Structure 1
Amino acid sequence: MAVARHFAQLPSYAEYRKLFWYDWGPVFYRGRLNRTGRLLGIASDPGPTERIAGRTLVGDAGQRVQGFLSKVGLTSSYTLVNAYAFALLPSHAQDAIPLLSEPDQLQWRNKLLELITGPKLQAIVAFGVQAKTAVRLWENRPDVPVFEVPHPSSRSPKVLLDSWRAAVTELRGIVTPDPDGDPGVPNYGPKFLETDYASIPARDLPFGVPPWLGDDAWGRSDRPKHNNSVERPSTDLRNTLIWRAPKHA
């Protein structure tokens, strides 16, 4: 498969390893890779839950994005990737931006985007600054509407909700919903609610993962609250992950 071969040709991040959780390796995508996606979503980088799943946007941020897709009426016809294939250390976010323009990385990323998008594409959504930059650097970008919205982990909830609400409203008039989708569900209100999340479909995850992976509603209602089942302990941020299962599982 051409996409798999392209994944294997990812340019080295070794020169920039201090900016990333480098030792955990890359995480590439979630969703459809066969050029059938009607919406392409680009975020910034995979996190700890994504590393466990081997798929991007499956943790708390990913479940917010899944809710966003659900409000547009999409249940399967989407493709999700990131500006970086490695998890970025938040404190080095600004330091990593030049990497997006580095010729080998730029060429690899743009070819990937071309391999996974096709004539059915109707819209592109860039979640966050890193993704916006990556989209703007895509020279042969398809002639479809591009929406630049805050990252799902934005610390400015009102800005996020106002932007996502407006984007959903416009996208409902652009993107054809899936047969089992419902673009008539409520749009975002003044606060982000549990009903604004959606669990990650099993089809988007590797076979054999626990059935609760990709649905952290149990953690968000737990005490103390935790929004992800996987976390990086402060005692060893770069090389240790802690994975927690719900007690009822």
Structure 2
Amino acid sequence: MAEFDRGPSDAFAELFGRVPDPPDAQAFWFDWGPVFYRGRLDGSARVLVVASDPGPTERIAGRSLVGDAGQRVQGFLGKLGLTRSYVCLNAWAYAVHPSRAEAMKERLADAAQLQWRNEVFGAAVGAGLEAVVAMGFMAQEAVRLWDGRPQQAVLVKVPHPSSHDPVALLDGWRAAITTLRPVVGPDEDGDNTGPNYGDAFEEADYRPVPRRDLPFGAPVFLGDDAWVRAKGTGLQNSVGRPTPDDGHTLVWKAPG
């Protein structure tokens, strides 16, 4: 039987259904709706990854961290030997316009947003959580505001996978792997003894998003944009938002 994500439990579906609208709809790609998670929601996750907000590939998949950034995150998890024992969430369930990101960071503390987000964070993890990885300033603020964060879990703050500062990104992620390898045990089919990050981000540092993280029927190339990166055009994702109608149009290309 092929593995696939059967979706959230009834309890999580009810919780996700209570997501509050963003505080300023104009600051978000609001009409595309929310995207909530990727990975295990049953409390078995040993690492919680928190990032910023979903992108266009995430909207296609209906799962968090699936595009180029998500494939970098999967590579990060792979270096820890994790193949399944993780859950990926975001500070915002709606995609934020980059020009409004700093302003929306301040709105993470709005009462409705704070209460709902902390409820999601708390429900998604269990007693076996070993680490929380906050990727980027938005995620780090959301985690700072999480008053119920399990104190047994090591907190690591790193640059967002889409950071435009490759030196800071690699230095931060390399140090995080060094810190977490003694803390996070690998899955039975994982290996945490491979190379750490070098001085440049290589294709080997990516991993495809596992089929078990995606809904049934997802095409085989969803979550694996190696073919896009191999073209050498500078593009990294198979899904994009075209201007000027990026609020209502997505362009999704399949491999030729």
Is 1:126 matched with 2:99? no
Determine helix, strand or coil for the equivalent of 2:207.
coil
Separation (CA, whole Å) in 2 of partners of 1:124 and 1:16 = 28
Q: 2:83 aligns with which of 62, 72, 75?
A: 75
Show the 5 A alignment for 1:153-172.
153-172=162-181
Q: Deviations over 1:98-118 (max 9, x none)?
A: 220000110000011111110
CA drift at 1:223: 4.8
Is 1:210 matched with 2:206? no
For residue 96 of structure 1, what is the aligned residue in structure 2? 104
For residue 206 of structure 2, what is the aligned residue in structure 1? 197
Is 1:46 matched with 2:83? no
Is 1:32 matched with 2:40? yes
Q: 2:196 aligns with which of 187, 192, 195?
A: 187
Q: Deviations over 1:74-98 (max 9, x none)?
A: 0000000000000010010011112
For residue 149 of structure 1, what is the aligned residue in structure 2? 158
Please tell me the residue identity of whatever aligns with 1:52: I
Determine helix, strand or coil for the equivalent of 1:141.
coil
CA drift at 1:225: 3.9
For residue 24 of structure 2, what is the aligned residue in structure 1? 16
* Structure 1 stretch displaced more, 15-24 or 75-84: 15-24
Separation (CA, whole Å) in 2 of partners of 1:8 and 1:94 = 26
Please tell me the residue identity of whatever aligns with 2:41: L
* Structure 1 stretch displaced more, 96-105 or 39-48: 96-105
What residue ranges of structure 1 are gaps of 5+ in the alignment?
Answer: none
TM-score (structure 2 length as normaliser): 0.95
Q: Deviations over 1:48-95 (max 9, x none)?
A: 000000001000000000000000110000000000000010010011
Q: Structure 1 runs of 4+ off > 2 angstroms?
A: none
User: For this pair of structures, how many residues does the alignment match?
Assistant: 246
CA drift at 1:3: 1.4
Question: Identity across aligned pairs (percent)?
Answer: 55
Separation (CA, whole Å) in 1 of partners of 2:165 and 2:246 = 25
CA drift at 1:41: 0.3
**RMSD of aligned residue pairs (Cα, Å):** 0.8
For residue 6 of structure 2, what is the aligned residue in structure 1? none
CA drift at 1:182: 0.5
What residue ranges of structure 2 are gaps of 5+ in the alignment?
Answer: 1-9
